[in-house]
A and B are shown apart, each in its own frame.
Chain A
Amino acid sequence: MTRPLRLLLSKAGLDGHDRGIKVVARALRDAGVEVIYTGLHQTPQMIVTAALQEDVDGICVSILSGAHLALIEQIYEFLKKNKMQHIPIILGGIVPEEDFKKLSKMGVKKVFTPGTSLKDIIDFVKSNILPQA
């Protein structure tokens, strides 16, 4: 039997809006995912270090402050330094559509914006992120 999916959930940057990520964390946990929640105010380096230590299958980042481009770019820099760029990133938050392309070019697998249903998030995660062997 494969082990359950292990995801890191994190609030990046200075933004304190954690309602969404906490709701998603509870929903993923209820759906059988192993959730590691870092809490607030994480720097890109802290996120990558946590992902490494926790040996996760994917990273879910929540940013509602508009700082997503700069922060995600830095997360990828640290991932590359640690040869972890294969780890999928999902972004949730207030993200203008004109940034979607730039984010996907950086490697972001999916951006979820306000109003997304929990079911859509769970379905996406389960069919697109696989537990590493």
Chain B
Amino acid sequence: MKFSTISDLEIKEVYTADDLKNVDLEHDLGRAGEYPYTRGIHETMYRGKPWTIRLFSGFGTAHETNRRYQLLLEQGQHGLSVAFDMPTLMGIDSDDPRSLGEVGKCGVAIDTLQDMEILFQGIPLDQVTTSMTINGPAMVLLAMYFVVAEKQGVALSKVGGTIQNDILKEYIAQKEWIYPPRPSMRIIQDMMVFCTRDVPKWNTISISGYHIREAGSTAAQELAFTLADGIGYVQAGIEAGLDVDEFAPRLSFFFNAHSDFFEEIAKYRAARRLWAKIMRERFHAKDPRSWKLRFHTQTAGCSLTAQQPYNNIVRTAIQALSGVLGGTQSLHTNSLDETLALPTEFSARVALRTQQIIAEETGVVNAVDPLGGSFFVESLTNTLEQEAKTLIEKIDEMGGIIAAIEKNFPQQEIARAAYHYQKQLEQKEKIIVGVNKYVQTEEESIETLYIDEAIQKKQVAALKKIKQERQDASVREVLEQMKQAARGKQNLMPLMMEAVRRYATLGEMCEALKTVFGGYTEKAVI
């Protein structure tokens, strides 16, 4: 019988010192807080600073989501993480015909500045950090957030947080885009330049493997495609005229915590080592902060089952533990009901408590990189690094990640891996408890959050009111200026903030840029 990881990487019966013959303990491992950071980016890791507990949340209108945020903060969550609904993610308004049935469903609906003002009502933006999962229209939402800070009297230099803004993985995996890849990169360059100068505590891109993994990639593919995207962004920053050490410290990463415990831990450790080498050797970064791969982790949504849903609490706890043992900087734990719907207050609380139990009961935070030196973990770390490196070299040969995306390379590799895993499930070579083994015919049913269809009517009515109250001519004027800037080289960010102040809608702003940049359709391949 073959023993292999969930990514089908073959594992030997036992690992010994022989497996680490080629490892230079001094240089390849070193100490936490030292190059190449295999053991962690901080010398004291969780003794000095616990990871940030950050639960991704958003649904309905801004009113409902604001209430959930207040509750999460009261219960001991550290930072906010905004989930937007599908129309917002695609850059269209709630009253657009394409938004039918989607408003407020898998996140909060945002059309204008007013929604963002409500979303952060009573939450001082100099006291929390916020992560926003938004990509295609990222610049619009970032502009809205900064204007909310402005209205609260908070200086932009004091505003901290992260915007996902990783458009490359949208083409690869998550598939929510507005413009074609190259103009999208220009928008990101404008944001990088603006934030580097005016919002120094803002993380401008969260380079995400999470969605790549959810789309069915292996662990090594997740690692490789994510770091290849990272290379793409660093090149873009340099091409925009920034010095690498000016912006690289504000790039962060976001990985999946899947079910194969040791493979995941090895993945995080390999990621740090590989990125440190890329930044130092390839991009000649000199500031150690540019070498450090900081990352957020989310447990694997795709591993959760609708069958026997309470088992998901156990899966999530074990996955979260791998993130912690792998040295994550922040963590989202999924709720048990997320294959069925958005989480209820009850299920979100269990997810939060899961992290608190790991942090405060288990003792795993006491020692830095507790698995460092394990023959198995070190050997697996090397294997993942090597596999990822080979894939990154292949992408380099294709002319970089954008060229690879245009050739459908990562997309096809992921689809192939997803199908391979599904076939292994059908053959019971891989097991999902409650799905292809230990199946129960009588399923327990659980209560889930139901988003009322009336939400859309409410949101559309509020949007209509704003459109009546604002000065249309001044909105049109700034939208025209944005188009002009898009045709030339002027930074779009200040104009976007001005449009936001005048209550232009998300859809109007994205549509204005689309007239210049064009849209994007993916070639449908299986």
Q: When the two chains form the complex, which single residue of B306, B418, B425, B445 contacts A114, counting CB atoms closer than 8 Å? A: B306
Tell yes or no: B100 within 8 A of A by CB.
yes
Tell yes or no: A34 within 8 A of B by CB.
no
A22-B526 Cα distance, complex, nearest whole Å: 5
| A70 proximity list for chain B (CB < 8 A) | 100-102, 453
Tell yes or no: B90 within 8 A of A by CB.
yes
12 A–B contacts from the bound complex (CB under 8 Å): A13-B101, A14-B87, A15-B86, A16-B175, A19-B216, A22-B526, A23-B415, A37-B526, A40-B175, A66-B101, A67-B100, A115-B305
Whether A97 contacts B526 by the Cβ 8 Å rule is no
* Cβ proximity bits A69-89 to B, threshold 8 Å, 1 near / 0 not: 111001000000000000000
CB distance from B525 to the nearest CB of A (A): 8
Size of the chain B interface, CB-CB below 8 angstroms: 48
- Surface stretch bound by B, among A25-33, A51-59, A124-132: A25-33
A113-B521 Cα distance, complex, nearest whole Å: 27
Whether B106 contacts A66 by the Cβ 8 Å rule is yes
| B8 proximity list for chain A (CB < 8 A) | none
Tell yes or no: B523 within 8 A of A by CB.
yes
Q: When the two chains form the complex, which single residue of B102, B339, B521, B524 contacts A67, counting CB atoms closer than 8 Å? A: B102
CB distance from A99 to the nearest CB of B (A): 10
Whether B418 contacts A22 by the Cβ 8 Å rule is yes
Tell yes or no: B174 within 8 A of A by CB.
yes
* Cβ proximity bits B440-460 to A, threshold 8 Å, 1 near / 0 not: 000001001011010000000
Known: A23-B216, A39-B523, A66-B106; 8 extra A-B contacts, CB below 8 A, are A15-B86, A22-B415, A22-B418, A27-B419, A66-B341, A70-B453, A115-B306, A118-B423
CB distance from B511 to the nearest CB of A (A): 15
Whether A67 contacts B176 by the Cβ 8 Å rule is no
Tell yes or no: A119 within 8 A of B by CB.
yes
A43-B90 Cα distance, complex, nearest whole Å: 14
- Interface range on chain A (Cβ under 8 Å from partner): 35 or more
| B176 proximity list for chain A (CB < 8 A) | 14, 16
A18-B434 Cα distance, complex, nearest whole Å: 24
Whether B106 contacts A23 by the Cβ 8 Å rule is no
Tell yes or no: A65 within 8 A of B by CB.
yes
Chain B residues 305 to 335 lying within 8 A of chain A, measured CB to CB, are 305-307
A37-B174 Cα distance, complex, nearest whole Å: 18
| B216 proximity list for chain A (CB < 8 A) | 19, 23
CB distance from B298 to the nearest CB of A (A): 15
Q: When the two chains form the complex, which single residue of B99, B101, B214, B426 contacts A117, counting CB atoms closer than 8 Å? A: B426
| A23 proximity list for chain B (CB < 8 A) | 216, 415, 418-419, 422
Tell yes or no: A5 within 8 A of B by CB.
no
